[in-house]
Structure 1
Amino acid sequence: MNKELLIWIVALVMLSSCGSVPLTGRKQILLVSDQEVLTSSLTQYNDYIKTAKLSGNKKKTEQVVRVGKKIASATEAYLKANGMEAEAKNFAWEFNLVNENQVNAFCMPGGKIVVYEGLLNLVDSDDELAVVVGHEVAHAVAKHSNERMSQQLLTQYGAAVLDQAVSGSSAAVQTVAGTVYGLGAQFGVMLPYSRKHEYEADHMGLIFMAIAGYNPDKAVSFWTKMSAASDAKVPEIMSTHPGDANRISEIQKFLPEAKKYMKK
């Protein structure tokens, strides 16, 4: 295959694989079908949950389920109200509290939400928990996993695999899935998304929690607490996550928009 033809193939595949993020409207390349993402993520999640030690704390578990359901309902309501009923159907929500001291949480594509007890120990209210859950649900709604898988495919396999990756079940997709979901090697509070994805999830998460009836102002107090509790200060340039001060500053900029979604 000559170079010019290869360039045209790559351009056509990428043009046909463009999407946009709800709420923010940011354009993204999604080379993997929703069904492949959901299938691979469910496999990863089921493998994880089989070995995870679920919390025996009934009160805290009920809190996670309560907040999770309200955020999930708000998210689906937003999607349906904005002509994205098909996207809403991709979610089969599940909420778990895991008995581990990690300061962590995640939401897999498809709506499988896990919160660790270590994080819940820093949460003082449903509003603060909603900051975390809203953020994680936003990662799923924005299809950040698909975007990261697509980036991995481009990086690891090059142009030659693009057609294979978008035309059906692909061994290449399965290979990158474990790296993207990374349930055994999480960093900080969230999955290791790029800083761009983190800021976007903060933005969207504030809106989802506001629609659900939670106070988005609590995001500032929560992240201030997280900053104080952090054992190691990783320079932002060396981390996939925003620095604490930068994150709080951006959240403060998003708050006026989020508050418009609160019920009067």
Structure 2
Amino acid sequence: MVPREPPDDRTPASPAFQTRSRDNIMRRIIIVSVLLSLLVACATSPTGRRQLKLFSGDEIAQMGIQSYQQMKQEEPIETSTAENRYVKCVADAIISASNPEGQWEVTVFEDDQVNAFALPGGKIGVYSGLLDVAETDDQLAAVIGHEVAHVIADHGNERVSQQFATQGGLQVVSAFLGGSGGAGSQAIMSALGLGAQVGILLPFSRTQESEADTVGLELMARAGFDPRQSVDLWQNMAEASGGGGQAEFLSTHPSNDSRINNLSSHMDEAMQLYRQAPNHPDCG
């Protein structure tokens, strides 16, 4: 009896060949699916810039709400009636000018840091330390307008999508699909651009920051706040930081000078909107 030769793995009939073929087909399907999802997910920002957005608005809003609730549990909240009324007056005017859907919640946190944030899901946080640098309601409007602009431009979705599409995808998905706390939730909060002490802060890119400056300038002008005060605000910011800071090319944020130049280049259009605004709030 002639011994039978072992099957050649390279022949189409062999199980090993068929397994490899299935694996190759699956890889190609996955690659095509990912590429199609990236193409479909392309969107346009308010300034006409192309964006990658892989998540639905509801998913991003839920991430923002969860982060906000966590902030309110962990950070002390300012109880001063005067400060809360003042911040809410400015925020309400900006929110009204942005024509948002649903109700927005505004919280003043008792903290010396000079910061504020807005999150998807209609959440705004202002740190009391900001009120020492934003000296007028117009200047505070410049900050809140900038933060609300991040939400309007869907920068949170873009940031999470970028993280998902590169190195942080598995971590983000794990946290969103049931993970609680730990590095996963910190990554989501960071990806949303939350200006808080979450251990790993990944702020918006310089492109997104500049875009938020431009859109925020328009928002504050439509709300009836003097857009020229946005330049004064960033001059105050430069003074508060001692005029120093990290070199722009090493930072994800534009330098104060770059921000001022960008704002100044859009000032004529903003002033037209300011003059046409039906109301000029007096929140001070």
From 215, 234, 248, the counterpart of 2:246: 234
From 199, 203, 211, the counterpart of 1:192: 203
CA distance in 2, matches of 1:51, 1:178: 14
How do residues 148-159 of structure 1 correspond to structure 2 at under 5 angstroms? 148-156=159-167
Query: 1:177 — aligned with what?
Result: 188
The structural deviation recorded for 1:157 is 5.5
Say which SS state the counterpart of residue 96 (structure 1) adopts: strand
Give the CA RMSD over aligned residues.
2.5
Compute the TM-score of the two structures, normalised by the length of structure 2.
0.78
Matched-pair contact (CA < 8 Å) for 1:186–1:192: no
Task: Provide Cα deviations, 1:116-175, integer angstroms capped at 9, x if missing partner.
Answer: 1111111221111100000000001111011000011011257xx7xx97xxx7469x65
Query: 2:152 — aligned with what?
Result: 141
Task: Provide Cα deviations, 1:17-61, integer angstroms capped at 9, x if missing partner.
Answer: 122122x12221100111111112111110111232121322221
Matched-pair contact (CA < 8 Å) for 2:190–2:203: no
CA distance in 2, matches of 1:157, 1:9: 19
Is 1:118 the equivalent of 2:142?
A: no
Query: 1:244 — aligned with what?
Result: 256
The structural deviation recorded for 1:111 is 2.0
From 58, 61, 66, the counterpart of 2:89: 66
From 36, 53, 57, the counterpart of 1:34: 57
Compute the TM-score of the two structures, normalised by the length of structure 1.
0.83
CA distance in 1, matches of 2:108, 2:241: 21
CA distance in 1, matches of 2:67, 2:168: 22
C-alpha spacing 1:219/1:183, structure 2 compared with 1 (3 Å): closer
CA distance in 1, matches of 2:67, 2:195: 8
The structural deviation recorded for 1:191 is 7.5
CA distance in 2, matches of 1:26, 1:55: 38
C-alpha spacing 1:56/1:40, structure 2 compared with 1 (3 Å): same
The number of residues matched between the two structures is 242
The structural deviation recorded for 1:262 is 2.3
Unaligned runs of 5+ in 1: 77-87
C-alpha spacing 1:156/1:98, structure 2 compared with 1 (3 Å): same
Say which SS state the counterpart of residue 117 (structure 2) adopts: strand
Is 1:57 the equivalent of 2:80?
A: yes
Which of the two has higher C-alpha Rg?
A: 2
Task: Provide Cα deviations, 1:195-219, integer angstroms capped at 9, x if missing partner.
Answer: 0000000000000111100110111
Report the residue type matching 1:66 in the other structure. Answer: C
Matched-pair contact (CA < 8 Å) for 2:90–2:137: yes
Is 1:260 the equivalent of 2:278?
A: no
C-alpha spacing 1:14/1:227, structure 2 compared with 1 (3 Å): same
Say which SS state the counterpart of residue 156 (structure 1) adopts: coil
Q: Which stretch has the larger CA shift, 199-208 or 105-114?
A: 105-114
Report the residue type matching 1:247 in the other structure. Answer: R
Q: Which stretch has the larger CA shift, 198-207 or 34-43?
A: 34-43
CA distance in 2, matches of 1:191, 1:111: 21
CA distance in 1, matches of 2:188, 2:134: 31
Give the % identical residues: 37
CA distance in 2, matches of 1:179, 1:113: 16
Matched-pair contact (CA < 8 Å) for 1:71–1:208: yes
Q: Which stretch has the larger CA shift, 48-57 or 222-231?
A: 48-57
Matched-pair contact (CA < 8 Å) for 2:96–2:223: yes
